[in-house]
Every structure is written in structure tokens, then in C-alpha cells.
Structure 1
Amino acid sequence: MLVSQGRSVADAVRSIGVTQFTYYRWRKEFGGLKTNQVKRLKELEKENERLGKALSDLTLEKLILREAASGTERPRQRKV
């Protein structure tokens, strides 16, 4: 917003307390998005992470159930 008002990038980032690197990274990630689109993107990223974890848990559970159904057991560790 500040840059679009005619301020230099260096001046704008200094006034909001971030580095130029951070500014360019943000611009690359969120450049053409409006505020509500950025919010929705963050929500979708969070949901994607949650679903990925759920998939991992279910995959592990499926493998454990498959092993149990086949009658093969993993060797137990001995206490030392």
C-alpha cells in the first residue's frame, strides 16, 4: 500500500519494521491477492495440513490393522 502511494520500497519497509527480503517474499507469495483471498488461502493451507496429518494417521492405522489381520506380529523389544 505504501509503495503504491509513491514511497520507495526501502522507506515503506522501514516504516513497518520489516526487511526488504521479507517484503519481496510477501509480494511473491501474496502479490495479486486481496485481503479476503489471503485469509482464504491461509485457511486452506491450514486445512490441507490437517488433512495431511489425518491421512498419515489413517494410513498407519490401516497398516497396523493389516498386520493384525494377517497374523504376523512385529518382534517385541526386550527390556534390558
Structure 2
Amino acid sequence: MKKSRFTDSQIIEALKRVEAGLAVPELCREMGVSTATFYKWRSKFGGMDASLMARMKELEEENRRLRKMYVEEKLKAEVVSEALAKKW
């Protein structure tokens, strides 16, 4: 996944500025992002503060790691079951 140019605190600050009354196109022009990017941020991070955002990213990373471990174990089990099936 591509790393964002913006830190979590910058994204949260941008969302708060729009909530305070700044126009979305003006903010996007100032930050150099598209309006689609801003609305994606708002749907994903709206209503969060920096600590919640950091916790969510930690959980996403842990979820990714656990999924990878599960797939590896599932492949091992399939190999073993195939080997046992061929043996008998």
C-alpha cells in the first residue's frame, strides 16, 4: 500500500478546518489533494482524534499480519492433507 504524504495529525487538522467552516475546494487546493481524496479521508477518519487514528492503524496492521499467518497455516494444512491422501 502506498504511504501517504500526510501525517495523521495533518489529516485530522484538515478535517477539523472544514468542520470549522473552510470550503472543501479551497482546502484541497491549499493542501494539493483532490476533493475525492478529502472525501475519502472524511469517510475513513471523520469524527476521530489522533489517538483513535493511530489505534486504528495499529489494528489494521495486526489484522494484515494475522491474515497472512492464517493463509500460511492453511497452505501447510492443505499440503499435509494432500500428502496423506497420496500415501494411502
The alignment's TM-score, normalised by the length of structure 2, stands at: 0.72
Q: Which structure is higher in RCO with an 8 Å CA cutoff and minimum separation 6? A: 2
Consecutive unaligned residues in structure 2, runs of 5 or more:
1-15
Aligned match of 2:86: 72
Identity of matched residues, %: 36
Structure with greater helix percent = 2
TM-aligned CA distance change 1:62 to 1:14, over 3 Å: same
CA–CA separation in structure 2 for the residues paired with 1:4 and 1:64: 54
Give the superposed CA RMSD. 1.5
C-alpha distance after superposition, 1:36-67 (max 9, x if no partner): 11111111111111111110000010111122
Matched, 1:49 2:64: yes
Aligned match of 2:48: 33
Consecutive unaligned residues in structure 1, runs of 5 or more:
74-80
Aligned partner letter, 1:64? V
Aligned match of 2:37: 22
Aligned match of 1:76: none
The CA deviation at 1:10 is: 1.0
The alignment's TM-score, normalised by the length of structure 1, stands at: 0.78
